Amino acid sequence: MGARSASSLGISKFCEQVVVFVNAYLMLHRRNRLACIGMHSGKCKVLYETPGFFQADAKQAFDPTLSEPIGAKLVRSIKQLAEEEHNGLPSEPVPVPLSAALSMALCQIQRARRGSSLQNLAPRILCLHGSPDPPAQYIAIMNTFFSAARNDVLVDSCLLGMQDSAFLQQAAHITGGCYLRPPRLDGLLQYLLSVFAVDRFSRQFMELPQSSGASENNAGAAEQPAAKSGMELLLEQQGAMMKLMMKQMETLATRVEVAEEAAAKAVS
């Protein structure tokens, strides 16, 4: 997942640290693969994909980009994205398409699952997020979290700003992921390496830092009604549908009754 901005860090420094993290992640295991999705106002895009992301065992044809450093590729596409943003887009800030990016990530994971002969993928989504939550996408985002939980995908989040994101705290809560807002961004890499590089298998054994524990709990408590309302909203919608159906059934039944009565009368 991409970040929109890293206010106090500077985009180039941020990129460097992310690239190092990506390299470290790929180095952890030879089967580790990843796709980076960047999002910016109104749009999201796959920035980088490990070759053979969708087919683990495919015999690859000769591809000169195979030997290109990952960092160069990633930085290039991030720059491209930034340029697109500068060129001719509305000047007023548009909310980030977080839900779209999350769904895109889920789709990628699904594709990777289908393409690979290995059934034991342990997928994770890591959101490096520095923008305010887009409230208008509340339901869409919650839906992506629920489907992630259903598909056994963890959603980890690393917040880059000074604000906590209620949405992503929810994500960590629902999917069993890890949520962290580093107090100092210049040590971002250390946080990435020591918390977010921990794979799902090792999480059984390792204590992940609970640095935002208190605020998470508070925020979690504060957000609980909101989450409920989201669920309720869904339930309400379903309830309304059910009611409608029940009504239709009833009218159908009465109609049948009326028809039967009429038939009985006609016979008599």
Partner 1 sequence: MQNPYFSFINYLETLPPIKIDKLYESHWTCQAVFRSLPPVAKQYVLRLLYVDHGFPESTFKSWIAKKSISKHDAALASLARLRILVSSDRQTSPESTYKLHPSFQQQLRHGIAGSAPPPIAELPPAAQSSAPTAESLDKYAMNHWERLLLFLVGSSRPPTTIGISTLKSKLNVKILYQSAGLMAAEGDSSAITDQGFQFLLLDMQAQLWTLLREYITAAERDGGVEVAAVISFLLQMAFQQPRQPYSCRDLTPGHQRVVADLAQLGILYLYQNGSRVWYYPTMLAGSLSGSLAGTPVSEEGQGYLLVETNYRVYAYTNSPLQIEILNLFARPDYQLPNLYVATITMKRVRAALSSGISADQIIAFLQQQAHPHVAHRTPVVPETVADQIRLWETDMLRVKNTPAYLYESFPSPNAFATCVAFAEANGALLFQDPVKQYLAGWVARHHWSRSRASVKCGLLAQGWVARHHWSRSRASVKCGLLAQGWVARHHWSRSRASVKCGLLAMLASALCFGIKPHWQMVCILSHMEHTYITTLCAG
Indicate the SS3 state at residue 262: helix
Is 75 one of the binding residues for partner 1 (CB under 8 A)?
no
- Is residue 122 near partner 1 by the rule CB under 8 A? no
**Cβ pair 98, 39 in contact under 8 A:** yes
- β-strands 35-40, 43-49: how paired? antiparallel
Q: Which of 1, 39, 154, 198 binds partner 1 (CB under 8 A)?
A: 198
For partner 1, the binding residue among 27, 89, 256, 263 (CB under 8 A) is: 27
Say whether residue 49 binds partner 1 (CB under 8 A). Answer: no
Interaction of residue 206 with partner 1, rule CB under 8 A: yes
Size of the site for partner 1 (CB under 8 A): 32
Among 94, 117, 132, 245, binds partner 1 (CB under 8 A): 117
29 part of the interface to partner 1, by CB under 8 A: yes
Kindly state whether residue 184 participates in binding partner 1, applying the rule CB under 8 A. Answer: no
Residue 98 near residue 138, CB atoms below 8 Å: no
Binding-site member from 197, 211, 220, 226 for partner 1 (CB under 8 A): 197
Contact between 59 and partner 1 per CB under 8 A: yes
Only one residue has tokens 């890591």, namely 126
Q: How far apart are CA 169 and CA 23, in angstroms?
A: 26
- The verdict on 252 binding partner 1 (CB under 8 A) reads no
Is residue 172 within 8 A of residue 178, CB to CB? The reply is: yes
Nearest to partner 1 of 201, 252 (CB atom): 201
In angstroms, give the least distance from the CB of 176 to partner 1.
15
Q: Which two tokens stand for residue 227?
A: 């989450």
Measured from the CB atom, the residue of 59 and 114 that comes closer to partner 1 is 59
How far apart CA 109 and CA 106 sit, in angstroms, is 5
Instruction: Establish if 247 lies at the interface with partner 1 (CB under 8 A).
Output: no
Task: Output 5 or 23, the one with its CB closest to partner 1.
Answer: 23
The strand ranges marked E within 54-150 are 124-129
202 touches partner 1 by CB under 8 A: yes
State in angstroms the smallest separation of the CB of 116 from partner 1: 12
| Helix H or strand E segment including 265 | helix 213-267
- In angstroms, the CA 175 to CA 148 distance is 7
Give Cα separations from 224 to 157, 166, 172, 190, 218 (angstroms).
Answer: 19, 10, 13, 31, 10
Q: Are 156 and 177 in contact (CB under 8 A)?
A: yes
| Closest distance to partner 1 from the beta carbon of 198 (Å) | 6
Residue 211: exposure state from Cβ atoms within 10 A (0-12, 13-18, ≥19): middle
**Residue 56 found at the interface with partner 1 (CB under 8 A):** no
Give the interface with partner 1 as residue ranges (CB under 8 A): 20, 23-24, 27-31, 59-60, 62, 64, 66-71, 117, 189-190, 193-194, 197-199, 201-202, 204-207
